[in-house]
Amino acid sequence: MSWDISIMRLSKEYQSVSDIPSDEQPLSIGSIENVHRAVSRVFPGTDWADPAWGVWDAPFGSIEFNLGTEDPAMSMMLHVRAGPQVVPLIVTLCHVNQWHGIDCSYGDFIEKSVSPEQGLECWATYRGRVLGTDN
């Protein structure tokens, strides 16, 4: 169980996912090698032993970067199991690479949200209910 963020690059800036026209064709996010470098700059120490599946660990949690094997890569899914400290890093990853991150919990861009941690908070609440650890 994870909080999921879908990373892609669109042909232009949209303010909301609902603004994306049905004929939009996402652009490549880069070669696998370039995506590895981009992720590792923001998330140092990401383990790319499997080039399609990077793993980043920190004292406050982890992220799995599901990149796939298509080169150049068209998208990437982040499977987040971490505390709120990770949210600004994900937003930075999107901004510095001109990528769009769709919060799968809310269905909108995390990097444009006034409250980007909202999806993580909802996921953590849900996880606590499912695991019986909520207070």
Is the pLDDT assigned to residue 102 strictly greater than 80? yes
Tokens representing residue 122 in the block:
């909802």
CATH of residue 33: 3.30.310
Q: Is the pLDDT score of 133 beyond 80? A: no
**In the chain, pLDDT over 70 holds for what percent of residues?**
93
pLDDT at 118: 78
**The pLDDT of residue 126 is above 80:** no
Is residue 111's pLDDT more than 60? Answer: yes
Beta bridge partner(s), residue 56: 63
- Provide the residue range defining the domain that includes 116: 3-131
CA-wise closest residue to 43 among 89, 76, 94, 97: 89
Residue 96 has pLDDT above 60, yes or no: yes
pLDDT digits (tens, 9 = 90+) for 1-50: 788 999 999 999 998 999 999 999 999 999 999 999 999 999 999 999 99
Predicted confidence (pLDDT) per residue in 45-85, tens digit: 999 999 999 999 999 999 999 999 999 999 999 999 998 99
In 34-99 the beta strands, taken as DSSP E runs, fall at 47-50, 53-58, 61-66, 76-82
Rg over CA atoms, the chain: 15
Tokens 């993580």 -> residue: 120
The 8-class DSSP code of residue 107 comes to T
In the chain, how many domains are there? 1
Cβ atoms 24, 38 nearer than 8 A? no
For the entire predicted model, the pTM comes to 0.88
Question: Residue 130: what pLDDT?
Answer: 73
Say if CB 113 and CB 11 are below 8 A apart.
no
Q: What is the DSSP letter of 31?
A: -
